[in-house]
Structures are given as C-alpha cells and as structure tokens.
C-alpha cells in the first residue's frame, strides 16, 4: 500500500473514532456554564435494560433534604372538665388533650415553624422528634391563630434547615412536594403540582391567601413543609378540603412569604399586633339599590356599640363599599384590609346608605383577639 493511501485510511479511522466519542457522550464539544445543585430535581435515568418513556423528574435528592428538615410534633395540654362530670363521675378537674402534627426546621439554631392548631396552646407541653429520632422538649415562642401559624424553639446542634423560597414566584402546574407525618406514618413524602395560587374562598379561613395543591395531604401533615424542586420552603401545609376527612386532591398551604413575616414578628415580640375598627358580622352584596344604583360591597348585619365603627357613625344595614380607597368585593377582603391597618391610624370607610354614599373616618384600634371563621 502506498504512503498516500496509508495516510488517508488513518485520517478516516481517526475521524470515525472521534465521532463515536461524541455520540456516546464521552467527549463534550460544549462547555458547562452552570452546575445544578445536588438537591435540585433532575430528569430520572432510564431503568436498567429499558428505555424511559419520557424525561420524568427525579425528586429523590429534594425529598431527602425535606425529610431531614421535617419534624414530628406532639403537643399535650390540660383541658378543664365540666363540673357535671366531676361531680357525678368523679372525673379529674382537668384532663390531658393531645395533638399530633408536623413541623419544619427553618434555622440552624432550632427554630421550627408549624400550625397553631398542632401546638394548641402556649402553655402546652410540646415534644419534637427529629429525622434522626432524637426527641427534644420545645419552647413555644408564639402562636398566631389568625394565620394558623406557630413558632417553636429547640436546643439542637447540627440542624439542617430548609432554605426559604419565594412563594410569590410559584406558577400553576409547578411541581411541589409535601412532607409530614400523616396518620403517624413518619417522614412521608408526596408529590403534586400547584393547583392554584392566592386561593381564598368562603369555605376557607378568611385571612390567608392559600397555595392550593394536589400533593396528598392528610391528617398529620399539618405544619409540614411544601417544597419546590429547588429544595426550598414555599409553604406550610395546613388543611384539606374533603367530604370524607381524607385526601381528595385539594390541599392548602400557607405561602412561605406570609409565614416568614409572621415568624419574624413572633420571634421579635411573641405576638402579632393587628388593627380593628370593631367586630362586625358581614354579608357580601352585589346588586342594585331601589333607585337603580349599582352596589357592591359588604353589608353590616351586626356590630357592637362600644367599638370604633359604631362610635364613628356606621350603622346596621350600611353597605361598606370601600376601605381607605380600595373597593370592597367580599367579607374576607375587607377583614384583611382592616387587620392589616396600622393601630392608631384613621381609616376612611365609605358606605352606601339610603341611596347615597357617605364617608366616615374611623380610628383603628388594636385587635383584642383573633376571631377565626369556622
């Protein structure tokens, strides 16, 4: 074989070998611009000896991170027994009432976020079990029944908290994981999507705008974390909507942005200061008055005489149509505007009365106690 033919064969064989490396993935012709964190969801590799039908996400690293940060909470409080049962049945004056739920570590020094209905009471005896089976006493830092949030503190070293995520950036159909202890099955992880954001409805608590998800949430999940695919805390699982008492694909979580603000205030002062112009029973209205004027707002069905709203001139059957310039659509919206008002300020409340609109200046007092709708 001549020298020219020999060189030609060598060049062809070398090019074929390099092409084989590129196809098999052993040689990259592009540079890697950004590494993916180990806890971020990756496409799952195909099973051995089979071809995967699609690039399905692999949540295993995210789930492990969520489980390490999740805790099991047991709360016991002493509940007074009715005198009738004490006298005729010899019952004790108080009896223990227990509650089980979940929580999530949010700081390396042992702060835990959970639901207030899991803790029950500031005087409750609370025990926390970590993912490594350590069981510790917990101090109740603060409870906010209005948002159904509570903060606990344990003495711990080497905690692995979840980083905070921005719940305002959640998108419909984004993957999320729920971690908790449903029915006392510890460290349970379920996956789903974000079904809705900023969800509020008459059948839900009036203050929160919830994240709705179809990740399975059951009794015992309360207080546990809702996690995005970057391993960040985006919500606190708190309730389900169900006709059976179990999972039906409609669960709700408190957004992390709201939860963090409440937690910071509870740690700083032990309480949440909210505004009030007085307790009122309200009903949404949307129609026309007898003179044909369109009216949308909430009608006052009941109020107390010794509170700011009545003393400032509001009356029964008034329809509140705006609060500090914001048009009112339903009771929940008005209540959120009122409790978020600064104590000591003056609110401008516009009402529709006897065919006319009138504006009243109402002092904002400190909310005495939360009144959650049932």
Q: Which residues are catalytic?
A: 117, 148, 222
Phi and psi angles of residue 192, each rounded to the nearest 5 degrees, phi first: -165, -160
User: How far is 115 from 225, CA to CA, in rounded Å?
Assistant: 11
Q: Per residue in 281-301, is it b (16+ CB within 10 Å) or e — as a string?
A: ebebbeeeeeeeeeebbbbbe
Q: Are 175 and 57 in contact (CB under 8 A)?
A: yes
User: How far is 208 from 331, CA to CA, in rounded Å?
Assistant: 13
Q: Are 105 and 228 in contact (CB under 8 A)?
A: no
Closest CA to 299 of 287, 311, 290: 287
Identify the residue whose tokens are 């984004």.
174
User: How far is 127 from 323, CA to CA, in rounded Å?
Assistant: 43
Give CA 188 to chain center in angstroms: 18
User: How far is 121 from 367, CA to CA, in rounded Å?
Assistant: 19
User: How far is 135 from 107, CA to CA, in rounded Å?
Assistant: 18
DSSP H helix total and E strand total for the chain = 7, 22
Q: Are 227 and 68 in contact (CB under 8 A)?
A: no
Dihedral sign from CA coordinates of 303, 309, 314, 319: negative
User: How far is 165 from 34, CA to CA, in rounded Å?
Assistant: 20
The two tokens of residue 258 are 């709201």
């Amino acid at each position: 074989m001549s020298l020219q033919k020999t060189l030609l064969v060598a060049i062809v064989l070398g090019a074929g070998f390099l092409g084989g490396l590129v196809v098999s993935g052993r040689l990259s012709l592009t540079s890697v611009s950004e590494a993916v964190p180990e806890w971020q969801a990756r496409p799952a590799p195909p099973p051995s000896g089979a071809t995967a039908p699609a690039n399905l996400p692999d949540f295993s690293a995210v789930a492990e991170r969520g489980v390490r940060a999740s805790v099991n909470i047991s709360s016991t409080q002493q509940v007074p027994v009715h005198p009738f049962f004490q006298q005729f049945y010899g019952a004790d004056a108080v009896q223990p009432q227990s509650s089980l739920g979940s929580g999530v570590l949010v700081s390396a020094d042992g702060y835990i976020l959970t639901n207030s209905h899991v803790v029950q009471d500031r005087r409750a005896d609370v025990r926390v079990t970590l993912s490594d089976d350590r069981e510790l006493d917990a101090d109740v830092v603060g409870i906010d029944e209005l948002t159904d949030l509570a903060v606990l503190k344990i003495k711990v070293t080497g905690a692995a908290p979840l980083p905070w995520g921005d719940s305002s950036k959640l998108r419909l159909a984004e993957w999320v994981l729920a971690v908790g202890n449903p029915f006392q099955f510890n460290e349970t992880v379920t996956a789903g999507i974000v079904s809705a954001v900023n969800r509020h409805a008459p059948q839900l608590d009036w203050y929160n705008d919830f994240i709705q998800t179809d990740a399975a949430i059951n009794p015992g999940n309360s207080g546990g974390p809702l996690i995005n695919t970057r391993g960040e805390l985006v919500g606190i699982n708190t309730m389900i909507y169900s006709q059976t008492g179990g999972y039906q694909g409609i669960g709700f979580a408190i957004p992390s942005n709201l939860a963090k603000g409440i937690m910071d205030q509870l740690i700083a002062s032990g309480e949440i200061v909210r505004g009030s112009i007085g307790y009122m029973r309200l009903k949404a209205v949307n129609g026309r008055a007898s003179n044909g004027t369109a009216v949308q707002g909430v009608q006052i069905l009941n109020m107390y005489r010794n509170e700011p709203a009545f003393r400032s001139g509001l009356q029964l059957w008034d329809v509140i149509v705006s609060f500090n310039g914001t048009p009112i659509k339903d009771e929940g919206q008005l209540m959120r505007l009122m409790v978020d008002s600064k104590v000591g300020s003056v609110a401008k409340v516009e009402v529709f009365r006897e065919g006319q609109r009138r504006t009243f200046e109402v002092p904002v007092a400190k909310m005495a106690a939360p009144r959650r709708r049932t």
